[in-house]
Amino acid sequence: MQRKMTGQGSVPSPGGRELDRMDFEKIGRGIKLFSPTDADIRRLLAEAANEIPGLSNPDKVLEVFHFNPDTVFALARANPVSPKLERPTGFIAQLPLTADGHAALLSGDLDTANPDTRHIAHQNETAAAIYIWCIFVDRRTAGGISLVMERLSSRKNAAATLYCRAASQKSRDFFLTLGFRESATPGAATNPGLMVYPRNPGGAEPQTGVGASGEARKPAVQVEVCRTLDDLQQIIAIRSATYVAEHECPYNEEFDGNDLVGMHLIARCDSTPIGCIRLRFFAGFAKVERLAVLKHHRSATIANALIRKAIEICSRKGYTRLYGQCEPKVAPLWIRFGFKPRTSDPTFSFSDRDYLEGDLVLDARVDAITIDSDPLTIIRPEGAWDDPGVLDHSALRRPSPLHNWAKKLRDAAEDDSEADRRSA
């Protein structure tokens, strides 16, 4: 947000870890990342201006934020005794750049204090690069950096190289700790101080190989909510190969009539669908079921990622009781996540196999979705409650002609009522 350097308040290193390898569940625990209001942005910018020189004009920040709501995230601590959040005390702003914007950044032609929105990607577009515009956090919210990085590691953004500028030597040391390095770009002479965090340039997932540290890197596994018919067809293919082909389960027993009323999660590696799990929701509990991983990709890592994501979604939806059924031989997998077998109940059978029942009791989350949550949060896509959705954007539109017409009718009715009172 500055003409020469990206702002950074007093920021401790979140564990001294590289961004792509942060354990966001641990580092970001107790911190809420959310879309701020206009008033939040103006207040936080005013506070940041006391520590960071040369911040962008608040009106420009709001212009960029309204163009793409994924450019500014607020950070607050979750209140352990109340479902309400504390007042946001930090924010992280970033510019998802188009290809032209990326080129302008490297050449020094991009005015980062006053960016032109034609250089910024829309919310539904894949960014060619991401410029960390400003980080302003305190020690209580510094871990929120990992939550932003989790979003920037999605399939849409995982290949986008990150850039930043440091406001001070302390900030430079901080970014170096996170894995940034001094940039040697063609425009270095006109673009001094630019730092870079290279990502995988050829695809959305890191490829198998050896990193700069010499440590072998495995392809990352992404677990996402099934949202399209194509996603569902991929899940049907996975379960057909696993349960119908391997386990010889009859087709009409595997596809039991619940697939269109449940939530599915799908795991991908290098964009290849390799695993899935299904969730069904009842009044007092959620059921976790139909875990499947393709034979040639079968590992505890993939199964763990699916189960972990399933538990996280159920917990966020407000469930504190989960129920599952599994064959005795795979019970240890579920026990590792805290499920307790019902030892008092005998096994039961279906589809020619024996099964155990198990329960998992969770602590209530302070940021669980409830009937009193923000109405726009409640109507966002499942599993993406922290990301402004298409209906959030619709709220930014001016009132529709129908709304104006209805207002004119109400105004006319009020005028008539006032005239009647005067004549009386």
Tell me the pLDDT band of 4, cut-offs 50, 70 and 90. Answer: very low
Tell me the pLDDT band of 120, cut-offs 50, 70 and 90. Answer: very high
What does the pLDDT read at residue 258? Answer: 95
Nearest of 148, 151, 85 to residue 367 by alpha carbon = 85
Cβ contacts of 228 within 8 Å, gap of 6 or more = none
Torsion over CA of 339, 344, 349 and 354, rounded to 10 degrees?
A: 60
What does the pLDDT read at residue 159? Answer: 77
Cβ contacts of 245 within 8 Å, gap of 6 or more = none
Q: Which residues of 43-78 are buried (b: 16+ CB within 10 A; e: fewer)?
A: bbbeebeeebeebbebeebbebbebbbbbbbbbbbb
What does the pLDDT read at residue 277? Answer: 97
What does the pLDDT read at residue 107? Answer: 79
What does the pLDDT read at residue 237? Answer: 96
What does the pLDDT read at residue 276? Answer: 96
Across 45-58, average pLDDT: 82
Across 64-80, average pLDDT: 83
Q: How far is CA 128 from the centre of its chain?
A: 19
Across 252-268, average pLDDT: 95
The token pair that represents 224 in the structure block: 């996402």
Across 88-101, average pLDDT: 88
pLDDT at 92 over 50: yes
What does the pLDDT read at residue 190? Answer: 47
Query: Which of 93-102, 210-219, 406-415 shows the lowest per-residue confidence on average (mean pLDDT)?
Result: 210-219
Cβ contacts of 419 within 8 Å, gap of 6 or more = none
Tell me the chain's radius of gyration from C-alpha atoms: 25
Higher pLDDT, 379 or 34: 379
Query: Which of 88-97, 124-133, 341-350, 404-413 shows the lowest per-residue confidence on average (mean pLDDT)?
Result: 404-413
Say how far apart CA 395 and CA 376 lie, in whole Å: 9
Tell me the pLDDT band of 423, cut-offs 50, 70 and 90. Answer: low
pLDDT in tens, 184-230: 554 444 456 788 887 754 333 333 333 433 444 455 788 999 999 99
What does the pLDDT read at residue 315? Answer: 93
What does the pLDDT read at residue 316? Answer: 93
Tell me the pLDDT band of 256, cut-offs 50, 70 and 90. Answer: very high
Tell me the pLDDT band of 420, cut-offs 50, 70 and 90. Answer: low
